[in-house]
Chain A
Amino acid sequence: GAVVSQHPSWVICKSGTSVKIECRSLDFQATTMFWYRQFPKQSLMLMATSNEGSKATYEQGVEKDKFLINHASLTLSTLTVTSAHPEDSSFYICSARVPGPPFYEQYFGPGTRLTVT
């Protein structure tokens, strides 16, 4: 149980275009999902917390107008990188919080490698 999928697994796009990444909880409902980003040789860094039916909460330094998050259902959250630039090239990974105690368990998707040319 507690499987999270992510699509696409990798994407190459041109500078200035937008890219949408999907995160799905396959066998449970997730009211809260998280989006992380990892640059080479760095740790996974939380970008934003996505709450079903409400606005996402962004971490300091993450532009909400550039990284649009939509959590329209209990099993799907999307991250759209708008007007992507080469510096947005990174590894993006989502996680979903399993409902119920202990209230902090997260299960991760396999991640999306974004390359902006």
Chain B
Amino acid sequence: ILNVEQSPQSLHVQEGDSTNFTCSFPSSNFYALHWYRWETAKSPEALFVMTLNGDEKKKGRISATLNTKEGYSYLYIKGSQPEDSATYLCACVTPISGTYKYIFGTGTRLKVLA
């Protein structure tokens, strides 16, 4: 059974702090990794998709890195703002039985305090 783990499960940071989360996944059978930002009652919003070892992606104050050999990805938020409060999900895309399946982590719930 493929297992994707995220840590920490939740955290509170002060406005202006920088923070980072981890997504760990099996390095075998890896195809791609997605990061999503998910606010309550909304659709998960795609942040990044990464496929190559060493990939780094950036969108404003948020960036992500990927290490497929050791099976982890980091998501960084620089200068956190209250509007960054959300659950951050990662999903490992893996080919299974002739199709691509998403294996999700449990998410990291971020609360940014003003």
Q: Nearest residue in B to A10 (C-beta to C-beta)?
A: B41
B42 at the A interface (CB under 8 A):
yes
- A106 contacts B102, C-beta separation under 8 Å: yes
Contact among A42, A46, A109, A111 for B102, CB-based, below 8 A: A46
Contact among A9, A43, A44, A107 for B41, CB-based, below 8 A: A9
A-facing residues in B70-114 (Cβ within 8 Å): 89, 91, 93, 99-102, 104-107
Task: List residues of chain A with CB within 8 A of the CB of B66.
Answer: none
- B99 contacts A49, C-beta separation under 8 Å: yes
Q: Which size class do B's interface residues fall under?
A: 20 to 34
Given A43-B4, A104-B93, A105-B49, decide whether A4 and B106 contact each other with a Cβ distance below 8 A.
Answer: no
- Chain A 94-117: CB-based contact to B (< 8 A → 1; otherwise 0): 010000001111111111000000
- B106 contacts A108, C-beta separation under 8 Å: no
Total A-B pairs in contact (CB under 8 Å)?
A: 39
For chain A, the count of residues having a C-beta within 8 Å of the partner chain is 23
- A46 contacts B101, C-beta separation under 8 Å: yes
Task: List residues of chain A with CB within 8 A of the CB of B93.
Answer: 104
Task: List residues of chain B with CB within 8 A of the CB of A111.
Answer: 43
Task: List residues of chain B with CB within 8 A of the CB of A45.
Answer: 104
- B46 contacts A107, C-beta separation under 8 Å: yes
Task: List residues of chain B with CB within 8 A of the CB of A108.
Answer: 36, 43-44
CB B49 to nearest CB in A, in angstroms, measures 7
- A107 contacts B104, C-beta separation under 8 Å: no
B30 at the A interface (CB under 8 A):
no
- B49 contacts A110, C-beta separation under 8 Å: no
- B43 contacts A109, C-beta separation under 8 Å: yes
Q: Nearest residue in B to A102 (C-beta to C-beta)?
A: B32
CB A99 to nearest CB in B, in angstroms, measures 14
- A110 contacts B42, C-beta separation under 8 Å: yes
Task: List residues of chain A with CB within 8 A of the CB of B106.
Answer: 41-43
Q: Which residues of B come within 8 Å of A, CB atoms?
A: 4, 31-32, 36, 41-44, 46, 49, 89, 91, 93, 99-102, 104-107
